[in-house]
A and B are shown apart, each in its own frame.
Chain A
Amino acid sequence: MKLSLKSKIWITMLSIVLMFAFFVLLYFPEQQQKALLSNYNTEVQNLSNTVALGVNIALTEQNLEGVETAMNYVKQNKELIFVSIVQIEDSTKEKTILQTVPENYPVKVNTTSNDTMIVKVTPFITPTMKGEIMLGMGTHKIVESKKEIRNTSLMVCFIVLVIGIFIGFLLSKNITVPVLALRDAALKVGEGDRTQQVSSRGQDEIGELGRAFNKMVKALSLAESERKAAQEQLIHSEKMASLGQMTAGIAHEIKNPLNFVNNFSALSVELLEELEETTDAEEKLEIMESLKSNLTKITAHGKRADSIVATMLQHSRGTAGEKVPTDINQLCSEYTDLSFHGIRATSREFNCTITKDFEDNLPLINAIPQDLSRVILNLLNNGFYAVADRVKKSEDPAYKPEVRVTTMKKDGSIFIHVRDNGSGIPKAIKDKIFEPFFTTKPTGEGTGLGLSLSYDIVAKQHQGMMSVQSEEGSYTEFTIQIPI
């Protein structure tokens, strides 16, 4: 049975009070009455014996006044109902009432005790007659004292009830209130509120419990903030690591357009000088065409470098990015290149066929480009790592590493698939790869946060889904689904 602590306290208190009331109201009065009745019976019997003795002496002495005196002995008693002298015929045993006080009381020879009266009989024998004294006394006194006992009992019961209720309240206040406060605080702590503290003034076990609880919450909060700080530090280093890897890719990506900007502008200066010197109209026209084409190229490559720098800035910025309409194809393309050049920069031998299979005219989707780009970069990096790993492990000269990035629109969502034909993911760890800090890379090469952060970015920030399919030694394909 499910009972609250409060109910248990009240049930215990009420049971004690009820038990007490039963004893005080029913059992004790009953016992008292029995004792009183037994005393009273003896008392009446004694009185009857005394009267019988007096009558016996008086009759033996033929002293009628003495009989009167003996009868009057009980006349003063307030409880007296009647007293009779009964004569018993010797031969027939027939009883006759000789005298009764008070005189008009209707006594019968067979009158016995009832609820309101106790009748006692004492036989006597004198030389002249054989008889007995019948004494009837009222129980009024006993009824009175019974009432008195009951009243007192009721009063005591009431006082005990009041004290019981008072103790109940006190117990509730001292036990259930702090316990309930502790429960509420524990629930809130469970929900993540680490500021909960309970009153811990009491010197008893409940006070100790409160102090222990407060200590625990403080320790928990401290541990949590330490963990959070460590996690933030790790997330930061993950970001820095991917930024570092990108930097090499970015240097390459910037130097290429820069190569054109520098050289085409230098060439243009030369062409201008030639233009000034030449007199041939046809040649002039030719030079001017070249100049025009050079300037167009300078602009195009300048823009290209600009967009690369913008991308890098986006990536290094925090996560407080806002959602903007984003061209998924462009984002995937840029970051695939960045990832590839990044890997190339650190591992010269690395080679891989990259296939970009992008569906044309994808609608723009609302996304946080700097975050989503981290996901793409991360998946590509993993893909390149996987094919490089397979190259390292397998001796098969026919193996051609390949990473394929596919985008498509389907059922109101945009799908991005990143598939590599690398070493694949063993079944045993497939469920763990999205867990934070899970990594198969050697210490120092991965924080184990890449995929878990990517998952968060896709699922939480973009309300999308991220899943993986893989066959060990064959392929791995990550799928990102983002609703349009």
Chain B
Amino acid sequence: MKRFTELFTAIDHTTKTSEKVAAIVSYLADSDDQSTLYAVALLIGNRPRRPVKTSDLKAWAVAAAGIPDWLFEESYHIVGDLAEAIALVLPPNPLSEHDYRLPDVIDELSSLPERSDEQKKEVITDYWQHLGKDERFVFTKLITGNFRMGVSRQLVIKALSIHLGMEEAAVAHRLMGKWVPAAETMASLFAEPEQGNRDFQPYPFYLAYQLDSTLESLGDIRDWYIEKKLDGIRGQLIVRNGRLYVWSRGEDLLTDKFPEFRPLADTLPDGTVIDGEIIPWQDGRPLSFQVMQTRIGRKNLSQKSLQEAPLVMVCYDLLEWKGEDIRDMPMHYRRNLLETLLSSPTRHPALLLSETMPFSNWGEVAVFRRQARDFHCEGVMLKRRDSAYGSGRRRGNWWKWKTDPLTADGVLIYAQSGHGRRANLYTDYTFAVWDDAGTLVPFAKAYSGLTDKEIVELDTWIKRNTVERFGPVRSVTPHHVFEIAFEGIQQSGRHKSGVALRFPRILRWRRDKKADEANTKADLLQLIAAMENS
């Protein structure tokens, strides 16, 4: 635990990616194979499920610290992070010589759900007693379930690539899917897989950056495939040895969530991997993302929900064909195979081809992108015809070009303190628009979009202009106006304003506007009507 905590601290102490990679490489060099596997799993966010209830954890910490519940709650509110608050209130233990192996700790935590509450308490309190302050924090963080190491997957891949002397793309591939460190060895994970034993494993997704240069700089439009950018779930559909696996980009295995795709196990040839967008689809066009969300959230899929949100995969790439990894082949080659596959008369109706748009010049692309919402998409994807299928987010060959967000001006009415880096600062805001009666009704919550400097300035203002406090929330004088950007808007019975926004965030602080110049509920309803008519 000590060495792993050092790694955590080293990563936490720097913002420079080169130093983060160096810290990981040095950890890998110091560690045995098993510790390496467990650490890598944690670094890429593959952690054990939460072994105990948060309320139990709090109760045990309060007992061990010998303080009343309310004082712990006060402290927790100030710290903003449960694991950190617990590590800090426990009796100091600065010079602990005790150390534990990371794999042993994780294995013990993984075994906790089967044990009695009394045993759980004993195990965890015992660790707390014997770990030093920093190790206590990391240990408790592993339990509270929001453990994040502050490194991107790409950096972990880079470090492993240096450590193993293996190409980054190969490392990235081996790390895909939800593997369990206890069931792996370095060899099973990183050596060339034997036939059949890693059938489930998806390829790393190739991700595009938002276009940040002019279209003209991309050169001849004939060198590019241009597709609609759909607003579904990016997924990979795998058929190997008669079995189907559907992975989301977030590396969740969602096969069971999509019964529509089940027949593909029999109809697609073995050794087929398709990359595409999983999206609810009816009458030749996509349904809104909300429909998808409701469906994904369902524990049990009823016949009704299957009918309300019938899913398809709009396929845009073929990564494996007849068992062969064809990601290095140019896109036009892959695309031809994909088109052939999908034009087969036995094609399953749940598989659609992502059409390429027949634009003849960049100006047409720009016009289309501006009106993208009218065409049920959120912009365009630009993919170079001769590009290989890369790994991770790369610049150059694939670009996304999203349409401008919708916006509305709202008045700040509530603020709540944030967590982690933003603990103790009012950073979570609620914005309101005016209704017909001249009352402000909340319509959006947003956490991001301001600079650190603006956050501090607004925080000071909030503290001085608080009207009322409700626990961690303060209501403030309606004064400041912010331009809120969002990707979609829908009528909603659950919100006071009658609308629900998708991805709201702060676009800018409109210091030039007074509160009464903010938008109205009527404006928003009009916006919805206009979109539905399109």
A, B: real partners = no
Residues of A participating in the B interface, judged by any CB pair closer than 8 Å:
none
Residues of B bordering A, CB below 8 Å: none
